[in-house]
Amino acid sequence: MSSPEGAELRDAAAAPDLDLPMLPGFLGYQIRRTQSWVFAAFMAELGDADLTPGACGMLTLIRANPGITQNQLGRVFGIDKSTLTPVLNRLEARGLILREPRADDRRFNALRIAPEAQERVGRFLARVARFEARMTARLGEEKAAQLIALLCELRGEPCIAAPQPAQAPS
């Protein structure tokens, strides 16, 4: 993994010539900085697969839930159709997923990992699991679980998972 401590990812508070009176104490600022840092680290390590963290999350859910609808996927990620559709179009064009009309309601598409992409997607998700394990190791499992719980609480959602650092997807 490339060093997330690189100059392009340093906290702005480390720049002594800038006046940041309240910004470093804003929760939203720290969440956004952390999201940017994780995204950059993800792309530095896994960018050769040409998949964003969002696309990776979608592949993870589609693989675990064959037949999931686009509507269900959008709800899980909290994104609308105009954001979801281009990502699914790219995944489909690359032969990673299939969209098939649902047998019970042909107005909706069922999403599946393409049979010929199962192994490739599995290898990629195993790499993602190793990346996540290294992210968790930076805090330790207890603090990582606490952070996940706090972020869920901030969103007002139940916390249904803890970090799974030692487990690659099956």
Separation in Å, CA 44 to CA 1, 36, 56, 111, 129: 6, 12, 15, 28, 15
Mean pLDDT of the 89-98 span: 97
Q: Judge whether residue 16 has pLDDT over 70.
A: no
Beta-strand relationship, 109-113 and 97-101:
antiparallel
Mean pLDDT of the 138-155 span: 93
Q: CA nearest 11: which of 132, 43, 29? A: 29
Judge whether 142 and 152 are in contact, CB under 8 Å. no
Domain map (residue ranges) of the chain: 51-113
What residues does 109 pair with on adjacent strands? 101
CATH number, domain 51-113, options 3.10.580.10, 1.10.10.10, 3.40.640.10, 1.10.287.10: 1.10.10.10
Quick one: pLDDT band at residue 20, thresholds 50, 70, 90?
confident
pTM over 0.95: no
Mean pLDDT of the 97-125 span: 93
Q: Judge whether residue 108 has pLDDT over 70.
A: yes
Alpha-carbon span 117 to 114, nearest angstrom: 5
